[in-house]
A = this chain, B = another copy of it.
Amino acid sequence: MPDFAALSTPALILDEERCRRNCARLRDHVHALGAAMRPHLKTCKNLEIARWCMESPQGPATVSTLAEAEYFAAGGVRDICYAVGIAPDKLARAAALRAGGVDLILTLDSLEAARALLAFARERQLSFAVMLETDCDGHRAGIAPDDPLLVILGRMLHDGGQEVRGILTHAGSAYDGGTPEQLRQLAERERAAAVAAAGMLRAAGLPCPVVSVGSTPTAHFAGSLEGVSEVRAGTHVFHDLVMWRLGVCEPEDIALSVLATVIGRRADGGLLLDAGWTALSRDRGGPGGFEVHGYGLVCNLDGQPYPGLCIRDTNQEHALAHGPYTPPLPVGSRVRILPVHACATAACFDAYHLLRGGRIEAELSRCRGW
């Protein structure tokens, strides 16, 4: 049993062996299908972990904030895709990163954003690299893969001296659930949408060197990545109860857990723990998830789940654990809680405590803010 005595609770524990295994598993699968990894570093937000999942210490990488881009650039990552639609007032920071030698790639999906980027680039005599976002599942952002707006934007940017780097899509609806067969179909739809959009750009004589897809579920269930050059996934480095429910991983693949202490026992047997929503987040993990795992599954210190013991409620600094059989753990006992959504739980903490060979070996900090 690992010795956690030196840690104050709640604390975020990262199992290095599981994390490295998760990284290798998806990389091997993506490589076998002929594509490269561009892991989404919004999940880990730490340089050392990023190096476990990137193809090389210089990238490629994906980020969701410019703060992440700046942090990873300072750590030597040179090829970074900022995969959130660029807001006009963030162009100056993006330009500064590019001026510093980072190949920062921006994303957009509207005439307005393209015009703002072109105006800024013209005034400063700059050239940005841009991904055009296409929508494969109606989940969030992007232009339909058969919408001529893609070509219009590509043409505007290209003629305005910008570099059209390629097509980007994200099957975000994969997190909402589905059978393995549905996830395989969604992965194929994601691939086909990106390839179709890229084909439209190329047919119009525009460059489109990169075809980028990615969500952790579709990346694992993809049967083909024909025509795709890179896969963005991030949650796979840790995995979580959402990924378990979707059939992407087993509980013993989940590399992240929250160490917590029993601070009380209710008359109904429920255990009160000192890990509230400040430590676990309030993420419920998509439709139907909360009923299965609540705000987390409670394990012993070896990481073995107590059968059915879930976090049924949280307050700011309290969690209430209940199960069909709730072990009568005395006040002061410690447990580990598997996260519903690894990105959200990790975001609650400033650092990971690295578990390596059964010992807490190091503290890895996380980049914060925007």
From the candidates B64, B110, B284, B332, name the one contacting A112 in the complex (CB within 8 A). Answer: B332
CB distance from A93 to the nearest CB of B (A): 8
Q: A350 touching B370 by the CB < 8 A rule?
A: no
From the candidates B316, B320, B369, name the one contacting A64 in the complex (CB within 8 A). Answer: B316
A203 to B263, CA, bound (A): 28
| A213 at interface, CB cutoff 8 A | no
Who on chain B is nearest to A64 by CB?
Answer: B317
Q: A331 touching B267 by the CB < 8 A rule?
A: no
CB distance from A65 to the nearest CB of B (A): 6
Residues on the B chain within 8 Å of A42, using CB: 316-317
Q: B332 touching A274 by the CB < 8 A rule?
A: no
Q: A9 touching B85 by the CB < 8 A rule?
A: no
Over the window 151-175 of chain A, the binary record of Cβ atoms lying under 8 Å from chain B Cβ atoms (1 yes, 0 no) is 0000000000000000000001000
| A344 at interface, CB cutoff 8 A | yes
Over the window 116-150 of chain A, the binary record of Cβ atoms lying under 8 Å from chain B Cβ atoms (1 yes, 0 no) is 10000000000000000000000011001000000
A110 to B270, CA, bound (A): 13
CB distance from A175 to the nearest CB of B (A): 9
A8 to B331, CA, bound (A): 45
Over the window 93-110 of chain A, the binary record of Cβ atoms lying under 8 Å from chain B Cβ atoms (1 yes, 0 no) is 100000000000000011
Residues on the B chain within 8 Å of A64, using CB: 276, 316-317
With A87-B263, A110-B265 already in contact, 20 other A-B pairs whose C-beta atoms are closer than 8 Å? A9-B87, A10-B370, A42-B317, A85-B264, A85-B272, A85-B274, A87-B274, A87-B331, A89-B261, A89-B332, A113-B263, A113-B331, A113-B332, A116-B332, A140-B313, A140-B315, A144-B267, A278-B347, A281-B281, A316-B343
Task: List 7 interface pairs A-B (beta carbons < 8 Å), by A numbering.
Answer: A84-B274, A84-B317, A84-B318, A86-B263, A116-B331, A278-B347, A284-B284
Chain A residues near B (Cβ < 8 Å) = 8-10, 42, 64-65, 84-90, 93, 109-110, 112-113, 116, 140-141, 144, 172, 261-267, 272, 274, 276-279, 281-284, 313, 315-318, 320, 330-332, 343-344, 347, 350, 368-370
Q: Which 4 A-B pairs have the closest CB atoms?
A: A112-B331, A85-B263, A282-B282, A88-B332
